[in-house]
Structures are given as structure tokens and as C-alpha cells.
């Protein structure tokens, strides 16, 4: 099984605007958010107050699960269940925290998705849990939730001071004759409303400060810096460029092999047949006619091979009628039955459609040639996140491996060049599954 993932390279363009999509890239740069705007400060205060109420209970539950898991490890099954529950409880909190902050500040955070192992069986399950447990994005979100809970408790405490200051301000109206500061220092005359005003203003300022601090800390924890994003884009650009070069090399090698092993020998044979017919045309016209007819049939076969080779380089129906029609034509030419399920309501970019088309074509070819499959299922979807997803599964013998220059290597490199991810799962005994995701606008 192989998993590969890269991002596309940004071409030379003017300096990108924060929050706008980067040309040639999948993710926009981190938007510049006005954390201190009045609306967001008010929203942050409400969030902090709510977290101050529910946050301690949630964190207490997490510590309880951790303690139960560690304490019951001797009773292996129970302890492991508690620790697994802890891992996915942390994921749920992290997902909630990212959604909360993105809704409040419009940070442009993608939704947190559970991690999956490329392995299969019990090892794959254990590896999936481990990948989820060490997911850095999950832990950053949990840290943000914890800090927000602490700030929420502080906000509730300061809100109590605000109420107390307001009470002191209006104490003369209700005839409170002996108010005391902190329960000890008596306040006489105008001292009570004056002190109340100071406490009220100071506590309101503290609440605003806590709300702004919450926004600053949350952004610092969950949103990578502009420099880090540009560095990551530079690294992934090199990866994608290498994938594109490798895909071109594999495709060139395939074309050379097909020409050398197929069309070229046939054309040589046609030339020899016509030459032999030329020598017999005077002495044995009937034999010459038979040779010309043989050359004519071979010529038609060569034309068919060239047409198939050209279709493998460029599928014109893909440009003219879209992915659904192109895949229908591909399935109709397949040597094994293909169940096709394509749900793509709109056109994607040509590189994305071409990458998915050729991945499916190569997977069907491999299934027909090597896996002894009797059928194939193809599913294609345009997902909500703008990703073109495809899955090809055959019922063959499995055991496929990525060999440099081979068909599976071409799949990985072609998808990498389009900025997507590829996963190939082919255990011994089958089935073989090829799953790819490509940005629709790649």
C-alpha cells in the first residue's frame, strides 16, 4: 500500500493577498483578521463565558478517562477502551474548537478530519488510533480549548466584579448606608459610587482585554504564520514539480515501449509484405494481391493501435463532453465488466479531470492484464471541499506493488503532479483498490 501527497506549485505572480486563493495552490494564505472589532469582542466574551461554565466539566471528564485508562491497563480490555475513548473525545473537542474559532473569527480553518492509516487489518486499526493520538493539529486545538476555558473562568470572575461595581454605583439610590470595599473598608458619602464606577470600568476593560487575548492566543496556536505557509508552499512546490517530471518520464517510456513493441514491428512487417508483393506482381499476380490484402489489413490494425496510443496520450472526448462521457467510453472498451458510478455536477479544471481519467484508465488496464479480475467498480464524486475523488476496486488476486516506471508508479506521479493524493491498497488475495483525490481547480 502506498500513500503519496503533494501540493501544486505557485507560478510567478504578484504578492498574494491574504485570504485569497494562491494561484496554483490549494490553500489560501492566512487571512488578516480584525480580532479587536466590537462584534468579535462581544462574541468572544459570550464564548468565554460559556466555556467558563462547561469547560471545566469537559476537561474533568478527559482527565477522568485518562486516569481510568492508565489505572485499568492491568485489566487490558477496559483500560484500552478508556484510552481509545479519550483519543476520540480529544478529537471531538478539537473539531469543536476549530469550528468555534472559525465561526467567530473567520480564520479560514479547514475542518479537522480523523486520521486514517494506509494499513489494513488489526495493525491498521491500531495505527489509525496512534496517528489520531499524535495528530499535532488535534493537540493544538485542545490546547486552545484549555486556554479558552481558563480565560472563561477568569471572565466569569471579572464579570462578578462588574456586577459588584455596578451595585456600588447605584447603592445611594437604594439607601445602602454602610457599603464596604471588599467587605472590610467602609465607604462613606460619594466614595461608594466613585469606587463602584472605578471597579465597573476597570472590570469591563479587563473583560475586553481577556476577549482580545483570547483572539490573539487562538490565532497564534491554530493559524500558521505567513512565513511558515510560504515555506510550506515552497517545499511542496518542489515535490509537485518532481512528480510532474517523473510522470512525464514514465509516460514517455510507455509511449516508446508501445511504439517499439507494437506499431513499429507492424509497420516494418507491412513494408516487407509490400516489398514481397512488388517482386511477385509480374510472375504471380494472385499471390501479390494476397500480400497486398495482408498489408492492407495490417495497416488498419496499425492505425487502430496508433489511435489507441493517441487516446492514451490525449482523450479528446474528455475535453469535448466531460469526465462522465469519457469514463463511459473507457468502460465500454474495457476487457472486463465495469460498474460506473459518476456524480460530478460540474466541470473541473482540465488537469484535474485528466489526472482522474488516466488514473482510472491505468487501473482498469492493470486489472485486465495482471489481476485476473472478473469485474471492476468505479466511483467518482465531486466532494463539498472542492476535491475530485475517485475509487477503483477490482475483484482480482491483489498483490500489486509500485515498481519504478510501472503503471502504479505512473498513477502516483500523475496525481502528485496535479496536487492530489493517491492511495493504493492491494493485499495478497485481493481486492485491489486505487483511491485518489485531486483538487478540482488544480
Q: Which residue has the higher pLDDT, 382 or 252?
A: 382
Please report which confidence band the pLDDT of residue 187 belongs to, taking 50, 70 and 90 as the band edges: low
Q: Which of 36-50, 278-292, 344-358 has the lowest mean pLDDT?
A: 278-292
pLDDT at 287: 81
CB atoms within 10 A of CB 41: 19
| pLDDT for position 51 | 94
Bridge partners, residue 393, by sequence: 377, 433
The rounded percent of the chain whose pLDDT value lies above 70 is 72
| pLDDT at residue 192, as a whole number | 66
Among 229, 234, 226, residue whose Cα is nearest residue 12: 234
**49 pLDDT exceeds 50?**
yes
Q: What's the confidence (pLDDT) of residue 374?
A: 85
Sign of CA dihedral 92, 96, 99, 105: negative
Query: Does the pLDDT at position 9 exceed 50?
Result: no
User: Residue 232 has what pLDDT?
Assistant: 59
Which residue has better confidence, 441 or 126? 126
What phi and psi, each to the nearest 5 degrees, are found at residue 228? -65, -40
Distances (CA, A) of 204 to 35, 44, 72, 325: 17, 14, 47, 64
pTM of this prediction?
Answer: 0.57
Strand pairing of 185-186 and 338-343?
A: unpaired
Average pLDDT over residues 234-254: 61
- Cell numbers of 345, please? 455536477
The larger pLDDT score, comparing residue 148 to residue 192, is at 148
Give the per-residue pLDDT at 346.
87
Is residue 235 pLDDT above 60, yes or no? yes
Higher pLDDT, 263 or 379: 379
Q: How far does CA 256 lie from the centroid of its chain?
A: 35
pLDDT band at 23; cut points 50, 70, 90: very low
CA–CA gap between residue 235 and residue 230 (Å, rounded): 9
415-437 per-position pLDDT tens digit = 877 788 888 888 887 788 888 88
**β-strands 376-382, 338-343 pairing:** parallel
Instruction: Give the tens place of pLDDT for each residue, 256-315.
Output: 666 666 667 777 778 888 888 888 787 888 888 888 888 887 787 767 666 665 555 556
Predicted pLDDT of residue 204: 92
Cell of 274: 509490400
Q: Where are the beta strands (DSSP E) in 318-373?
A: 338-343
Q: Taking the CB of residue 241, how many other CB atoms lie within 10 A of it?
A: 15
Which residues lie below 8 Å from residue 18, measured CB to CB, with a gap of 6+? 28, 29, 30, 31, 32, 226
Domain 316-442, CATH: 3.30.565.10
Q: Please give the residue that has the higher pLDDT: either 439 or 17.
A: 439
Give the Cα separation of 6 and 420 in Å (integer).
Answer: 6
* Percent of the chain whose predicted confidence (pLDDT) is above 90: 21
Q: How confident is the model at residue 32 (pLDDT cuts 50, 70, 90)?
A: low
Domain boundaries, the chain: 27-223, 316-442
Whole-number average pLDDT of the chain? 77
Q: Could you read off the pLDDT of 120-177 as tens digits, one per residue?
A: 678 888 888 999 999 999 999 999 999 999 999 999 999 988 887 787 777 666 655 5
CB 418 within 8 A of CB 248: no
Amino acid at each position: 500500500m502506498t500513500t503519496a501527497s503533494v501540493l501544486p506549485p505557485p507560478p510567478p505572480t504578484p504578492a498574494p493577498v491574504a485570504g485569497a486563493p494562491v494561484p496554483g495552490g490549494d490553500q489560501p494564505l492566512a487571512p488578516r483578521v480584525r480580532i479587536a472589532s466590537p462584534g468579535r469582542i462581544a462574541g468572544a466574551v459570550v464564548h468565554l463565558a460559556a466555556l467558563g461554565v462547561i469547560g471545566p466539566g469537559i476537561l474533568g471528564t478527559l482527565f477522568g478517562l485518562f486516569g481510568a485508562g492508565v489505572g485499568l491497563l492491568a485489566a487490558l480490555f477496559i483500560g484500552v477502551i478508556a484510552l481509545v475513548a479519550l483519543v476520540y473525545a480529544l478529537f471531538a473537542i478539537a473539531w469543536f474548537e476549530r469550528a468555534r474559532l472559525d465561526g467567530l473569527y473567520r480564520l479560514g480553518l479547514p475542518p479537522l478530519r480523523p486520521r486514517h492509516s494506509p494499513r489494513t487489518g488489526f495493525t491498521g486499526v491500531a495505527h489509525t488510533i496512534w496517528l489520531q493520538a499524535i495528530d499535532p493539529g488535534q493537540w493544538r486545538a485542545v490546547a486552545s480549548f484549555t486556554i479558552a476555558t481558563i480565560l472563561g473562568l477568569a471572565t466569569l470572575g471579572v464579570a462578578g466584579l462588574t456586577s459588584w461595581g455596578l451595585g456600588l454605583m447605584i447603592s445611594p439610590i437604594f439607601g445602602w448606608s454602610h457599603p464596604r470595599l471588599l467587605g472590610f473598608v467602609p465607604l462613606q458619602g460619594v466614595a461608594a459610587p466613585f469606587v463602584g464606577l472605578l471597579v465597573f470600568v476597570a472590570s469591563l476593560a479587563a473583560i475586553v482585554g481577556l476577549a482580545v487575548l483570547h483572539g490573539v492566543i487562538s490565532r497564534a496556536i491554530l493559524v500558521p504564520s505567513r512565513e511558515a505557509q510560504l515555506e510550506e508552499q515552497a517545499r511542496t512546490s518542489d515535490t509537485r514539480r518532481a512528480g510532474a517530471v517523473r510522470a512525464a518520464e514514465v509516460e514517455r517510456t510507455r509511449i516508446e515501449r508501445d511504439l517499439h513493441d507494437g506499431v513499429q514491428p507492424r509497420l516494418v512487417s507491412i513494408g516487407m509484405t509490400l516489398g514481397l508483393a512488388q517482386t511477385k506482381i509480374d510472375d504471380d499476380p494472385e499471390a501479390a494481391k494476397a500480400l497486398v490484402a495482408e498489408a492492407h489489413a495490417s495497416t488498419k490494425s496499425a492505425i487502430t493501435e496508433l489511435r489507441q496510443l493517441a487516446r492514451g496520450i490525449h482523450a479528446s472526448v474528455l475535453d469535448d463532453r466531460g469526465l462522465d462521457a469519457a469514463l463511459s467510453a473507457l468502460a465500454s472498451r474495457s476487457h472486463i465488466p465495469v460498474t460506473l458510478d459518476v456524480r460530478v455536477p460540474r466541470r473541473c479544471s482540465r488537469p484535474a479531470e485528466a489526472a482522474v481519467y488516466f488514473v482510472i484508465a491505468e487501473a482498469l488496464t492493470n486489472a485486465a492484464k495482471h489481476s485476473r479480475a472478473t469485474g471492476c467498480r468505479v466511483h467518482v464524486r465531486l466532494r463539498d471541499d472542492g476535491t475530485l475523488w475517485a475509487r477503483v476496486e477490482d475483484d482480482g488476486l491483489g498483490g500489486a506493488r509500485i515498481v519504478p516506471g510501472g503503471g502504479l508508479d505512473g498513477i502516483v506521479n500523475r496525481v502528485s503532479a496535479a496536487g492530489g493524493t493517491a492511495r493504493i491498497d492491494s493485499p495478497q488475495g485481493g481486492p485491489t483498490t486505487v483511491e485518489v483525490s485531486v483538487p478540482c481547480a488544480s
